[in-house]
Amino acid sequence: MNDFAFDAPTVIRTKRDGGRLSDAAIDWIVDAYTHGRVADEQMAALLMAIFWRGMDRGETTRWTTAMVASGERMDFGDLPLPTVDKHSTGGVGDKTTLALLPVVAACGAAVPKASGRGLGHTGGTLDKLESIAGFTVELSTRRVREQLADVGAAIFAAGELAAADKKLYALRDITATVESPPLIASSVMSKKLAEGVGALVLDVKVGAGALVESQAQARELAHLMVGLGAAHQMPTRALLTDMNAPLGAAVGNALEVAEALEVLAGGGPRDVVELTVRLAGEMLELAGIDDREPAEALRDGTAMDRFRRIVAAQGGDLSVPLPIGAHTETVTAARGGTMGDIDAMAVGMAAWRLGAGRSRPGEKVQPGAGVTIHRRPGEPVAAGEPLFTLYTDTPHRLAAAIAELDGGFSVGDASPVARPLIIDRIAT
């Protein structure tokens, strides 16, 4: 590509001033950044310009295509099983992937799942799984293919898939440019298109703990991603789901694995089970499988068996106890009454402060850090009763985490207004 035709300051200035980036400019800047010819500080400036000025559908489609072209592409068209994947835009306590993949695999589809690290206050599937002793997410394409044929699912780091996204993802995380619809859509869809999956179901979170807070913005994002899938001949549909309160009662890497295991054992929080079963149903429908019930796979133990096989195939050992932070603090109720709304962002930020997330690229997370929620909205509370337990390996983090929770919950005399977990469904 001809570097003399473009320069980073001009591309940045064009978007900063509200202009439209040409296809050629997008191709150049994505390629140049991927290969180190554009510096992080320059791309950070462009990301902030995109955050404020946005990109139209044409720009977003081209940006996505350029990101797909930046790395390798997988192709599972010759597998005997239909392939389907799910992606969440990120939330607090969202561990559905951990239970969902073995459910769908147990029902007869293959799920190649390229996943990411934690982004901002939202947890990452790879970080969660790496809290299992020995579990590896670094799989070659050949290994992924073999595992899909053997156990029906593989969860792996994107590696060189959409290579531009790996760098952009980390940069967005530390430059406060995460919550941009074009950047979210292109990040998600570039990885899924490069993954070579046959169909895709999106879980678009909306609310205080989501990357987008308003339903209008969430619908815009969902339509944008469904449209990107259609433009690239990949059947895609989306569910809009509530993320005002944390999903489930566990927030943090190992804590969420433990809760996912409860779901796979036939128990677990009602909201996690509901969302897992609904997403699995959507995935199986797109895959053309209509003779298995996802809820039955949870009840009869086949999903748990499949999860154990996935973990074993990726070197994990579930017989080793999951890590838990060595230092704890408990937040108790100042009065009796009924648990009110719990702010997902407050809990997510508390977990981040405790060490469950990152403040700079490549930073190690604490697998045992996080928050356990003892009383969910609408449940009765007694004065002095534990409401939250915080875990960390670094005790100096506790005060800041408790400060994040302050004002993020209430105990009152009346139950909060119930909200539906699944708000809408968007399909092509």
- Given the residues 187, 203, 237, 343, the one annotated as active site: 187
- Given the residues 27, 165, 173, 343, the one annotated as active site: 165
Q: How far apart are CA 284 and CA 148, in angstroms?
A: 16
φ, ψ of residue 208 to 5 degrees: the values are: -60, -35
Those residues with Cβ within 8 angstroms of residue 423's Cβ, 6 or more apart along the chain or in another chain: 206, 215, 218, 239, 240, 241, 242
Grouping H, G, I as helix, E, B as strand and the rest as coil, residue 297 is helix
Sequential DSSP letters for 304-330: HHHHHHHHHHTT--TTSPPP--SEEEE
Amino acid at residue number 269? P
- Given the residues 15, 62, 86, 87, the one annotated as active site: 87
Q: Cite the DSSP H helix spans in 152-287.
A: 163-174, 181-195, 215-231, 253-264, 270-286
Q: How far apart are CA 242 and CA 252, in angstroms?
A: 19
- Given the residues 117, 191, 358, 375, the one annotated as active site: 191
Residue with the two structure tokens 């579930």: 318
Q: How far apart are CA 166 and CA 157, in angstroms?
A: 10
Judge whether 223 counts as a catalytic residue: no
Judge whether 187 counts as a catalytic residue: yes
Judge whether 191 counts as a catalytic residue: yes
Query: In the structure encoding, which two tokens stand for residue 309, read together?
Result: 């096989």
Amino acid at residue number 136? T
Judge whether 413 counts as a catalytic residue: no
- Given the residues 86, 113, 172, 309, the one annotated as active site: 172
Sequential DSSP letters for 65-89: HHHHHTSB----TTSSS-B-EEEE-
Active site residues: 87, 165, 172, 187, 191
